[in-house]
Amino acid sequence: MLGPVLLAASRSDRMRRVVAAAPVTRPVVKRFIAGDELDPAMDTVRGLTAGGLEVTLDHLGEDVTDRATAQATRDAYLRLLETLRKDDLGPRAEVSVKLSAFGQSLPDGGHDIALANVREVAELATEIGTTVTLDMEDHTTVDSTLAILHELRRAHPQTGAVLQSYLFRTEDDARALAVAGSRVRLVKGAYKEPADVALQDKKDVDRAYVRALRILFEGEGYPMVGSHDPRMIAIAQDLAARNHRVAGSYEFQMLYGIRTAEQRRLADEGERMRIYVPYGADWYGYFMRRLAERPANLAFFLRSFLPA
């Protein structure tokens, strides 16, 4: 019940101001976000990669409403990639981008503005030997995001994208993307979507996840299993074995701060395990989606308001 309320709140500017101003918010936010700035996030990245994990970094931000902010997002990613180059983190650290932060939803030519901005990021990523993955946002953005993926893959075929199993269209999208060289992160989906485009029942979303997983593992591409769900992880390992996939021809991905023991366990088993590491000051939308996913996170957050 609370999930949809929190997802609605994740898009409210009023709630953003209230939550961000509460001093008790900080320690809870720290569980999910690697820092407001790049420097502390890089300390996290160095620690994770030294321990044999891989990372994808997300400079937090979404839904920008002007060109200057979209360009600032691009510049933040270029700085991030230069830092990865200096640290020689190459393919062990890649970047994830939300196209709405690159201008995708701007009224005049948002699609082209986002493409031009993200193209510069993809060019530098290729130059330093790493990759870009396009996060997937709400369903209104999917066509534009997949079209941008298609454009980027002409020069940068290793560019990845995310598919969300809750959308009715996803099995078709998975089939189209299960081709050689294509990197697809499959997730269940984190936005509040209407019943005419998305499954509403969690069990149905889980079943759809398994169907899309099967398509990706049986195909020619590189599946990226974006889930903390032990059942989905076991099914993915089974599909990898049945399809004679060797370690390194697929990977697992989890969010920073969630099921860290399981992240370690999979890496120790020899699986490629990548951690999605978000950083930056604009953490509100990301943070609220994490609360919405799990009532226990909300209880943890609310308890922090009580006097010690």
Q: At closest approach, how far in Å is the CB of 257 from ligand FAD?
A: 8
**159 forms part of the interface with ligand FAD (CB under 6 A):** no
Q: Sign of the CA dihedral 87, 40, 298, 139?
A: negative
**293 forms part of the interface with ligand FAD (CB under 6 A):** yes
Task: Report how many residues bind ligand FAD under the rule CB under 6 A.
Answer: 24
Q: Of 57, 190, 233, 235, which lies in the binding site for ligand FAD, with binding defined by CB under 6 A? A: 190
Cβ pair 44, 263 in contact under 8 A: no
Chain centroid to Cα 173, Å, comes to 18
107-136 positions binding ligand FAD, by CB under 6 A: 135-136
Closer to ligand FAD at the Cβ: 81 or 273? 273
**44 forms part of the interface with ligand FAD (CB under 6 A):** no
CB atoms within 10 A of CB 85: 16
Q: At closest approach, how far in Å is the CB of 108 from ligand FAD?
A: 26
- Distance, in Å, from the CA atom of 305 to the CA atom of 246, rounded to the nearest integer, reads 48
Which contacts qualify for 17-23: CB closer than 8 Å, 24 or more apart? 19/284, 19/287, 19/288, 20/284, 22/305
Q: Which residue bears the tokens 């976000």?
A: 33
**162 forms part of the interface with ligand FAD (CB under 6 A):** yes
Closer to ligand FAD at the Cβ: 16 or 228? 228
Interface stretch with ligand FAD, choices 20-28, 35-43, 44-52, 288-296 (CB under 6 A): 288-296
Contacts of 231 (CB under 8 A, 6+ apart): 206
Q: Does 105 show up as a binding residue in the annotation?
A: no
Which residue out of 74, 153, 185, 214 is catalytically annotated? 185
**272 forms part of the interface with ligand FAD (CB under 6 A):** no
To the query of whether residue 172 is one of the catalytic residues in this protein, the response is no
201-230 positions binding ligand FAD, by CB under 6 A: 226-229
What the block records as the tokens of 113 is 């503005």
Grouping H, G, I as helix, E, B as strand and the rest as coil, residue 144 is helix
Q: Does 22 show up as a binding residue in the annotation?
A: no
CB atoms within 10 A of CB 223: 29
To the query of whether residue 185 is one of the catalytic residues in this protein, the response is yes
Q: Does 228 show up as a binding residue in the annotation?
A: yes
**276 forms part of the interface with ligand FAD (CB under 6 A):** yes
Q: Smallest Cα–Cα separation from 60: which of 284, 292, 298?
A: 284
- Distance, in Å, from the CA atom of 269 to the CA atom of 120, rounded to the nearest integer, reads 37
Interface stretch with ligand FAD, choices 19-27, 34-42, 45-53, 290-298 (CB under 6 A): 290-298
- Strands (E) across the chain are located at 54-59, 93-97, 132-134, 160-164, 183-187, 222-226, 251-255, 273-279
Q: Does 139 show up as a binding residue in the annotation?
A: no
**62 forms part of the interface with ligand FAD (CB under 6 A):** no
Cβ pair 267, 53 in contact under 8 A: yes
Residues in a beta bridge with 279: 59
Q: Does 192 show up as a binding residue in the annotation?
A: no
Q: Which residue bears the tokens 């088993």?
A: 269
244-263 positions binding ligand FAD, by CB under 6 A: 253-255, 258-259
Q: At closest approach, how far in Å is the CB of 31 from ligand FAD?
A: 9
Contacts of 281 (CB under 8 A, 6+ apart): 36, 60
What is the contact surface with ligand FAD in residues (CB under 6 A)? 135-136, 162, 164, 185, 187-191, 226-229, 253-255, 258-259, 276, 290, 293-294, 297
Show binding-site residues: 98, 136, 164, 188-190, 202, 227-228, 289-290
Mind telling me the catalytic residues?
Answer: 135, 185
Q: Would you list which residues are annotated within the binding site for substrate?
A: 98, 289-290
